[in-house]
Amino acid sequence: MKTYEDLANYIFPEINETIADLEKKYPARNLPEGAEVTRFAPSPTGFLHLGSLFTSLVAHKVAKDTGGVFYLRLEDTDTKREVEGSGDELVRQLAHFGIDPKEGYLGHDVGPYAPYKQSERAYIYKVCIKELMKKGRAYPCFCSAEQLEETRQIQEAMKMIPGYYGEYAICRTNTPDEAIARIEAGEPYVVRFKSMGNHNNKVTFHDEVRGDISIAENDMDIVILKSDGLPTYHFAHAVDDHFMHTTTVIRGEEWISSAPIHIELFDTLGFKLPKYAHLPVIMKLDNGNKRKLSKRKDPEASVSHFIEEGYPREALLVYLMSIANSNFEEWTAENHSYNLDEFKFSFDKMSLDGVLFDQDKLNFFSKEIIAQMSNQEVYDRVYEWADDEFKAKLEKYKKESLAALNIERGGEKARKDYAAYKDVYPIISLFYKEDNEKEFNEIGCQFKPEIPGDVVKAVLEDFKKSNDYSLANDVWFNTVKELGARHKFAESGKIFKQNPEAYVGHVGDVAEIIRVAITCRKNTPNLHDVLVILGKDEVDRRIDRAIASIK
Ligand code: GLU
């Protein structure tokens, strides 16, 4: 009669090492007291979810704040979902946001606990599984997908919890002899964990965000090794976070329900349980209902969306930190700082419920952050982000672009009209001759219909003669008022309203005439700045063009 030890040796003949050997190979980290080891453990499915960026930001921050280590582990055991090359893309996207692990899979392995790609760690998992099997705590399961489905239907009909457990775990009672015979006969199999838990008992664990959590013990004989020789998430989590010496596992709250499985696995393997922090999921309001951000329906579920739109990396991080800690916004206001390094993150300032994605708040932070940059910085970043066509314009009109980006920059009342780099072109393209020409041909100069064409013409002709660029903004504006007065425009909206019959309009209308004539737009940055940047020749050319277009 064969024993479990025989079965383990039969299934894993190539494995000679034990867990004790692995402990020696991957010794504890040499870190000061309180230093946290955290990780980001994405699956390379070709998509960095906003929620994953959030999780990695927090994990990175916790390690940084405590002088610990943040590493990246690539969880690529689900080969069906894997998108070729997306592991490297993930690393690049994270780096774009300044989340730059110093250890882990960074395009290649860096660090003492390599390999950091789970598909290359099969040997390590097998060492652990062999040991569990020797103790009778892991066994091969030969149930086919059809059989499992049948069991599920029976369980459903009887209102039982679906799954492979107790009497439904039929391969659990196979003797080692039977198991070996079936493997010899070529039957495909997976390896399952033999749970000793009881669903009627509760297990309690501490969550850094939520405090103590009590849930039913695990009693499922979960699959730990798939037929392709790779482990499932649950098993790889226990083995990797143990041997890589993670101190706090920071992951999405969707994993809370699996925690009892993990607790039993750590315990059975003889591993110390790490601390857990389950972070809230980012949700969205959809017809009044909260739901998870969906990869399929919501562009904002994907981090690449924010890169494509040109949100400054800092803005997205600051926004995510405002979700992470409820005191963060107050801190930014008090300290006039968006420097995340200066902010002390804490788990107990974290919201427990799914947080709502708030585009307006992201825009608010983003505008603030872009407003604080120098014009050169905005130019450089926009250039880096821009497509070839926009890049060419930025080069050709470098002087004008830089000057345009400098309009009302800095100071208390800085202009805040750019929430993302994509907002720059529609505003500054008025300085690009080709674009302005195109706009003129498409929409022309849409002056206020109430003001007669000959008045508009007269105003523009007068402006051409009287405009003095060298004057300071306020003084210049007074000359516009005077010009208006010469053509029966009130010097303010208020005066106009008191006696509308006496005037054609007011100074705002005069400014609009000039603005529309020159830019074909009703809204632009400060008009005086626009004129100065364009220069007299170009302004005059555009005014002549406008005058000629008035019928
Ligand atoms: N690979 C898992 C995921 O992408 C990681 C969860 C964890 O951080 O443990 O959801």
DSSP string, 155-215: HHHTTPPPSSBGGG-GGGG--HHHHHHHHHTT---EEEE-----TTSEEEEEETTTEEEEE
In this structure, what token pair is assigned to residue 7? Answer: 């079965």
Which of the residues in the chain have pLDDT under 50?
A: none
Other residues' Cβ atoms within 10 Å of the Cβ of residue 344: 10
329-364, pLDDT tens digit by residue? 999 999 999 999 999 999 999 988 778 999 999 999
Nearest 10 degrees: CA dihedral of 84, 88, 89, 95?
170
C-alpha 38 to ligand 1 mean position (Å): 12
Using CA atoms, how far apart are residues 497 and 200, in angstroms rounded to an integer? 78
Tokens 């893309």 found at: 89
Query: What amino acid is encoded at 267 in this protein?
Result: D
Ligand 1 neighbours by CB, cut-off 6 Å: 41-43, 75, 237, 249, 251
Length of the chain measured in residues: 551
C-alpha 177 to ligand 1 mean position (Å): 37
CA nearest ligand 1 atom 4, residue: 42
Whether the CB-CB separation of 5 and 42 falls below 8 Å is answered with no
Using CA atoms, how far apart are residues 12 and 19, in angstroms rounded to an integer? 14
Closest CA to 210 of 263, 261, 253: 253
**Best residue among 39, 43, 295 to mutate for probing ligand 1, ranked by most atoms within 8 Å of CB:** 43
* Confidence (pTM): 0.91
> For residue 418, which phi and psi values (nearest 5 degrees)?
-110, 115
As a whole number of Å, the end-to-end CA separation of the chain is 106
CA nearest ligand 1 atom 9, residue: 251
C-alpha 348 to ligand 1 mean position (Å): 22
Using CA atoms, how far apart are residues 482 and 461, in angstroms rounded to an integer? 14
C-alpha 116 to ligand 1 mean position (Å): 14
| pLDDT recorded at residue 342 | 95
| pLDDT recorded at residue 476 | 95
Whether the CB-CB separation of 132 and 171 falls below 8 Å is answered with no
**Count of alpha carbons within 13 angstroms of residue 312, beta-carbon side:** 24
In this structure, what token pair is assigned to residue 201? Answer: 């008992």
C-alpha 46 to ligand 1 mean position (Å): 14
| pLDDT recorded at residue 276 | 98
In 293-341, alpha helices (H): 303-309, 313-324, 328-335
Using CA atoms, how far apart are residues 252 and 55, in angstroms rounded to an integer? 7
**Best residue among 47, 71, 75 to mutate for probing ligand 1, ranked by most atoms within 8 Å of CB:** 75
C-alpha 540 to ligand 1 mean position (Å): 62
CA nearest ligand 1 atom 7, residue: 251
List Cβ<8 Å contacts ≥24 apart for 110-114. 111/71, 112/26, 113/26, 113/71, 113/243, 113/244, 113/245
In 337-472, alpha helices (H): 359-372, 375-385, 388-396, 398-405, 424-428, 433-443, 453-466
CA nearest ligand 1 atom 8, residue: 251
Whether the CB-CB separation of 465 and 481 falls below 8 Å is answered with no
